[in-house]
């Protein structure tokens, strides 16, 4: 119930949020894993609607190596990471021709299982109908390669496309 109320609150906030030029907007996603081992956060900052969005990610408890890092359509954590649905692709871009909005690439965890990264992104933002506020953020078990916008389904035997940690992006 607590998770459902938090998800509803963040979704309602996303309706009210609009970037204003010259006004810095910040958002955060607190990431937790279903097994409690993985945790972290990602902070999103944007100065103006027409500028790149900066992402600072810090995640611990991962296995060393590459991990897919994506924004997903929904911010529903009632069924752990499964409720986040597919990677965010508002214009149904063909991923064989261009990177979709939600694909933030793969981030590398060091030998201690820590991701400490700063990214710049020119696709996602806080503004208009493609706002990321209230959407899900997911860190995958391993490297991901999105195919047809979705990637292979998550299963108990092939966890590549399963989330090891997830959260909902909300205004700070």
Q: Could you please report the per-residue DSSP string of 11-71?
A: HHHHHH----TT--EEEEEEEE-TTSS-EEEEEEEESSTTSPEEEEEEEESPPSEEEEEEE
Domain coverage including residue 25: 2-171
Tens digit of each residue's pLDDT (9 = 90 or more) over 47-92: 888 889 999 999 999 999 999 999 999 999 988 888 888 889 998 8
In the predicted structure, residue 96 carries a pLDDT above the cut 70:
yes
Structure-model confidence comparison of residues 64 and 97, the more confident one: 64
**CATH number of residue 49's parent domain:** 2.60.40.200
Task: Give yes or no for residue 10 having a pLDDT over 70.
Answer: no
Three-class SS string for 126-150?
A: CCHHHECCCCEEEEECCCCCCCCCC
Backbone CA torsion sign across 82, 10, 34, 150: positive
20-29, 117-126, 157-166: range with highest mean pLDDT: 117-126
The total number of structural domains in the chain stands at 1
Q: Quick check: 160 and 138 in contact, CB under 8 A?
A: no
Question: Computed over its alpha carbons, how large is the radius of gyration of the chain?
Answer: 15
> Does the pTM exceed 0.85?
no
Residues in a beta bridge with 81: 79
Q: What is the mean pLDDT of residues 31-50?
A: 89
């Amino acid at each position: 119930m607590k998770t459902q109320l938090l998800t509803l609150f963040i979704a309602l906030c996303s309706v009210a949020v609009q970037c204003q030029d010259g006004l810095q907007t910040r958002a955060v996603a607190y990431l937790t894993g279903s097994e409690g081992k993985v945790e972290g956060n990602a902070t999103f900052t944007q100065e103006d609607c027409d500028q790149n969005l900066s992402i600072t990610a810090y995640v611990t408890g991962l296995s060393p190596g590459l991990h897919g890092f994506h924004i997903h359509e929904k911010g529903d954590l009632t069924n752990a990471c499964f409720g986040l649905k597919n990677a965010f692709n508002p214009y149904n871009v063909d991923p064989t021709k261009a990177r979709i909005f939600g694909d933030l690439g793969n981030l590398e965890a060091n030998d201690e299982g820590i991701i400490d990264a700063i990214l710049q992104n020119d696709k996602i933002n806080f503004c208009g109908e493609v706002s990321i506020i209230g959407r899900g953020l997911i860190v995958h078990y391993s490297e991901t390669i999105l195919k047809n916008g979705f990637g292979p389904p998550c299963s108990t035997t092939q966890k590549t496309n399963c989330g090891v940690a997830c959260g909902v992006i909300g205004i700070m």
